Amino acid sequence: MQEVTDATLRKETANDLKEFFKRWPRLYYAIFDFLSPVYFGGLSPVAFLTKYPRTGTCLNLGSGARRLAPGVTNVDIAAYEGVDLVADITVLPHTDAAVSRIICDQTLEHVLNPEQVVREMYRVLQPGGYAYVSTPFMYPFHASPSDFQRWTHAGLAHLLADFTIVEQGVRCGPFSTLTTQLCYLAGSLFSFGNERLYWLIVYATAVPLFPLKCLDILGNHLPFAIHMASVPYVVVRKDR
């Protein structure tokens, strides 16, 4: 069992801010989408639902308060507004082969045992069912409530080795990587060790750098962009 210390799970100022604004989901995601230092291109979770249609239950693991589409079951450890099932995603309450599709969008980095989450995904997914997984690669620390893991595109393929890879690509590309690093560097340089000021500068710096991240409209499609992606994604299928 992985040891978890008090320091590992201490409350993070950035997460406190997120938890405060999540009381108002629409406001929270409007602020998040504007202040996020990354440009979201590639295949989105919503586009995944359209591109890989199947009847039956669809789970959004680690959903937070955002509702992707009608009929998608939001699963989260916290009882946010819009969460349909409060559960630990390492021990899902569903029976074997009970769901047709799974979305796990930038969630695995926040759990201590992502391998167990993947085993649960495989267990509850029907043969022929699809899963959409995205995780950060070249993205700095972000607490929700904490942050533990990173994967390359090859690491994601290894993590999901029991599945068949159907599609793999870039959600947030090299210019998003550059933008995030500049935001965090500015916070480090000008916060003088004050954590609240640090996070304020990180998010505030994303506003003037907005045009830079938008270069990923092209950057996501550069050769080898996945080698420097801020967030890669993969679509996998359970064949048996």
Residue-range domains of the chain with CATH? 13-29+41-173+231-237 (3.40.50.150)
Whether residue 238 contacts residue 139, with contact meaning beta carbons closer than 8 Å, is answered with no
Report residue 53 CA to chain centroid gap.
Answer: 21
Handedness of CA 77, 83, 85, 89 (dihedral sign): negative
Q: Which parts of the chain have pLDDT scores under 50? A: 1-10
Q: What is the pLDDT of residue 233?
A: 98
Q: What is the pLDDT of residue 143?
A: 85
- Please calculate the CA angle 239-66-139 and round it to the nearest 5 degrees: 75
Q: Please give the share of the chain, as a percent, with pLDDT higher than 70.
A: 89
Residue 197: CB atoms within 10 Å = 14
Select from 144, 136, 147 the least CA-distant residue to 180.
136
Q: What is the pLDDT of residue 19?
A: 64
| Sheet of strand 85-86, all strands in order from the earlier edge strand to the far edge | 85-86, 72-76, 58-61, 99-105, 125-134, 231-237, 164-172
Separation between Cα atoms, residue 72 and residue 45, nearest integer Å: 11
Q: What is the pLDDT of residue 27?
A: 73
pLDDT digits 0-9 by tens, 88-139: 999 999 999 999 999 999 999 999 999 999 999 999 999 999 999 999 999 9
- In whole angstroms, how far apart are CA 147 and each of 11, 37, 107, 198? 12, 17, 10, 17
Whether residue 114 contacts residue 108, with contact meaning beta carbons closer than 8 Å, is answered with yes
Q: What is the pLDDT of residue 81?
A: 86
Q: What is the pLDDT of residue 65?
A: 87
C-alpha neighbours within 13 Å on the C-beta side of residue 98: 11
Q: What is the pLDDT of residue 189?
A: 98
Q: What is the pLDDT of residue 21?
A: 60
Ramachandran area for residue 112 (φ above 0: left; ψ -120 to 50: alpha; else beta): alpha
Handedness of CA 224, 34, 86, 49 (dihedral sign): negative
- In whole angstroms, how far apart are CA 201 and each of 5, 20, 131, 206, 208? 28, 18, 36, 9, 12
Q: What is the pLDDT of residue 18?
A: 63
Whether residue 125 contacts residue 59, with contact meaning beta carbons closer than 8 Å, is answered with no
